[in-house]
Chain A
Amino acid sequence: EAGVVQSPRYKIIEKKQPVAFWCNPISGHNTLYWYLQNLGQGPELLIRYENEEAVDDSQLPKDRFSAERLKGVDSTLKIQPAELGDSAVYLCASSLRGGGNEQFFGPGTRLTVL
């Protein structure tokens, strides 16, 4: 069984440029999460989807970040425009359903903003 797939694995951009990350969750997983992880820290939840509905986006900086999960499968996370402080690893995870289930994480996208 394929795990959570993320692309790209690495991205280097200049500040003020846009960037997008893509995630393909495990087949059959209704719940999809996007996390941000800074060096030496734990993941911080940005947004959680149940199927195609964003049920928790309270931590998503909506002035520059946006996300979508069309058809309740793949998801994209976009930053426009990127700032220096956005440099981090962006992790995608999926689970069968929201609470009470283990999450399966992708390898992450390491973003460097210059």
Chain B
Amino acid sequence: SQQGEEDPQALSIQEGENATMNCSYKTSINNLQWYRQNSGRGLVHLILIRSNEREKHSGRLRVTLDTSKKSSSLLITASRAADTASYFCATDNNDMRFGAGTRLTVKP
């Protein structure tokens, strides 16, 4: 069963624009992770945010976590065509549960 639920399901933007993806979940968590999956490839870990953290940055990525609302967001700034991929949030409560993902398309 999947816990995280990403929104939107699909997002199409122009290169250079920012992309924001949201994740909602249902139960308490130890941490939340974001992964990227290029077409036909395995998943690649992007960032992990712990339940006692509110915001985390990694390069052009910014992740926020609101445990009171059981939600997280992933912001990709200054997007590039190479950012085109599916993005998944995964909640970690001693086991990992992935959402259905957001399909991001960045047009050159």
Residues of A within 8 A of B (CB): 4, 33, 35, 40-45, 48, 56, 59, 91, 93, 98-100, 102-108
Bound Cα distance A33, B93 (Å): 15
B99 nearest CB neighbor, chain A only: A42
Judged by a CB distance under 8 angstroms, whether B31 is at the interface is yes
CB-CB under 8 A from B88, the residues of chain A are 42-43
Contact across chains for B1 and A59 when beta carbons are under 8 A apart: yes
Contact across chains for B45 and A44 when beta carbons are under 8 A apart: no
Interface majority SS (helix, strand, loop, mixed), chain A: loop
CB-CB under 8 A from A103, the residues of chain B are 33, 43, 45, 96
Contact across chains for A45 and B95 when beta carbons are under 8 A apart: yes
Assuming the A-B contacts A102-B48, A107-B41, are A42 and B31 also in contact, with contact meaning beta carbons closer than 8 angstroms in the complex? Answer: no
Contact across chains for A102 and B42 when beta carbons are under 8 A apart: no
Judged by a CB distance under 8 angstroms, whether B75 is at the interface is no
CB distance from A87 to the nearest CB of B (A): 16
Contact across chains for A100 and B31 when beta carbons are under 8 A apart: yes
